[in-house]
Amino acid sequence: MRETATERWTRRIVLTLLAGFVLVPLYVMVSSAIKPLQDVQAAFTWWPRRPTLQAFVDMWSTVPLGRYLINSLLVASVAAIFSVAVAIFAAYAVSRYRFRGRQVFSVTVLSTQMFPGILFLLPLFLIYVNLGNATGIALYASRTGLIITYLTFSLPFSIWMLVGYFDSIPRGLDEAAQVDGAGPLRTLFQVVLPAAVPGVVAVTVYAFMTAWGEVLFASVLTNENSRTLAVGLQGYSTQFNVYWNQVMAASLVVSVPVVAGFLALQRYFVAGLTAGAVK
């Protein structure tokens, strides 16, 4: 079926508008990052009159950006790794075995996504503080407490995603491995997981991004030493001034590793999200 001229021009216009929605804000970020602060605070101009890279230098000293970056990378990476590790075993059990309470477990895991995150903020805060006072285990204002918090949100969805992906893998592979004498763990690691790489990558990216950009819990459950980037960027706004050029510069710099990782894993991510949709 050939595309008509009207359809072709409609497609071009729509794609151009969508590209504008994406690229214009990015251009404003870049242009603001290379402007002096006085120019950013003045009337908006599309082209920097006095381009400078000083904001990329000053952003490291205005706030401890390096420490925030390390905290974010550590918290997001550990939360993603633990989330995927637990979700693999749970999803494999739900997908391959029929046991009492299986349906209840599946519904319970999925239903946890119905509750807003702010509902758990005060309970987690009280648990961490009281547990620290009673046992000396410092979860409040620590990266460990933040990792546990992010696990409570990413783990249910990770299990649900992997169950759908494991269901799309033929059970004949498991049966063939069992005929060859492989046990459940060997079957999982040597047969099922190699075929489930796109799904595992998609879940890992989801868990990482959930922790990387979270603000609510990070703003309450951390202090200056354990603060993450999502909250630490607020430090560029002081009582007397807002360093907009440094905010834009910092946002661009901290986005580079995430964007690079996402582009490198994009083909796995897309395949993993669509897996299990059609059987």
| pLDDT tens-digit readout, 33-50 | 999 988 888 888 888 888
**Total domains, the chain:** 1
Question: Domain range spanning residue 113?
Answer: 59-278
86: pLDDT strictly greater than 90: yes
Determine the pLDDT at residue 268: 64
Burial of 15 (0-12, 13-18, 19+ CB in 10 A): exposed
Domain contains 45: no
Q: pTM of this prediction?
A: 0.83
| Residue 10 located in a structural domain | no
Residue 35, both tokens? 């402007």
For position 270, what pLDDT does the model report? 59
State how far Cα 36 lies from the chain centre: 32
18 part of a folded domain: no
Task: Give the pLDDT confidence of 201-222 residue by residue, as tens digits.
Answer: 888 888 898 888 888 999 999 9
What is the band of 73 on the pLDDT scale with cuts at 50, 70, 90?
A: very high
Confidence of residue 276 (pLDDT cuts 50, 70, 90): very low
- Domain assignment present for residue 16? The answer is no
CATH number at residue 173: 1.10.3720.10
Side-chain half-sphere of 45: how many Cα atoms within 13 Å? 14
Within a domain: 66: yes
- 86-95: average pLDDT: 90
Residue 278 has pLDDT above 50, yes or no: no
pLDDT at residue 116, as a whole number: 82
Judge whether 206 lies within some domain. yes
> Does residue 124 sit within a domain?
yes
- Summarize the confidence of residues 137-150 as an average pLDDT: 91
pLDDT band at 255 (very low <50, low <70, confident <90, very high): confident
180-188: which pairs have CB atoms within 8 A and are 24 or more residues apart?
A: 188/88, 188/89, 188/92
Which among 212, 200, 263, 222 is positioned nearest to 72, based on CA atoms?
212
DSSP class of residue 242 equals B
Residue 231 lies in a domain: yes
